[in-house]
Amino acid sequence: MLLTCPKYTKALDMWSVGCIFAELLGRKPIFPGKNYKDQIDKIVNVLGTPLQDDLGGVPDKTRQYLKGLRGEKKSLAEKYPEARPEAISLLEQLLYFDPNRRVTVEQALKSKWLESLHDENDEPSADGPMDFSWEDEVTGKPDSVMRERLKRMIYEEARVYHPGEPIWEDLVARVPPAPHPVAVARREHAPFRGRGVSD
């Protein structure tokens, strides 16, 4: 996205996975840019100047800008000395400039780093695009309405795994209404009206 690529693919998500993975390995962001240009500079300073072949899907103007940047590729193994070689190998594959060379989800799951966790029988693939129509129920509404709808949807999702829990309406009916903040403030600052010593 930083390179203004016109097409969003799963490869962009894999880049994000790589950035998160690097942060887990190093306990801090790998490309902490202040803005998009600074972030591109940070990327080039770590991964080196991209090769011409890596910029096939990048618009001409952006390609010219990248050609003017000079960076020498750093060793990720030296950057993360405590990481195992298998982790470094996966990280390198996640952070290829060229999205066509970047590791896919399926390939990443079969990597040595995830070997002990990989189970094809427990990793189903979606049959088609994800359905985000549920967002229409909570967007475009006042914050208070949106917040209440989100609460209800999250609770109902949790009930799928805990069917014995009460439905949302019954749960809400049990909760006493919160006191008005003005009333609370008045009560906290009211003078003490207990029995006096002389009473």
Name the phi and psi angles at 2, rounded to 5: -60, -30
How does the average pLDDT of the chain come out, rounded? 79
- 3.90.550.10, 1.10.510.10, 3.40.309.10, 3.30.450.90: which CATH number matches 10-119? 1.10.510.10
pLDDT tens digits along 35-66: 878 888 888 888 887 777 766 666 666 767 77
Torsion of CA 114, 117, 118, 124, to 10 degrees: -120
Which runs of consecutive H residues, i.e. helices, occur in 27-116? 36-47, 60-67, 76-79, 85-94, 105-109
Average pLDDT over residues 164-170: 88
* pTM (two decimals): 0.61
CATH 1.10.510.10 in the chain, residue ranges: 10-119
What's the pLDDT at 103? 92
Taking only the tens place, the pLDDT of each residue in 171-187 is 888 877 666 555 545 55
Q: For the ranges 10-19, 133-142, 149-158, which has the lowest average pLDDT? A: 133-142
For 10-38, give one letter per residue: b (16+ CB within 10 A) or e. ebeebbebbbebbeebeeeebbeeeeeee
Name the burial class of residue 79, with classes exposed (0-12), middle (13-18) and buried (19+) by CB atoms within 10 angstroms of its CB.
Answer: middle
Using one digit for the tens of pLDDT, what is the confidence trace for 85-137? 999 999 999 998 888 888 999 999 999 999 888 888 888 877 888 777 767 76
pLDDT value for 82: 93
Which pLDDT score is estimated for 59?
Answer: 65
Chain centroid to CA 64: how far? Answer: 30
Tell me 128's DSSP state: S
Percent of the chain with pLDDT over 90: 24
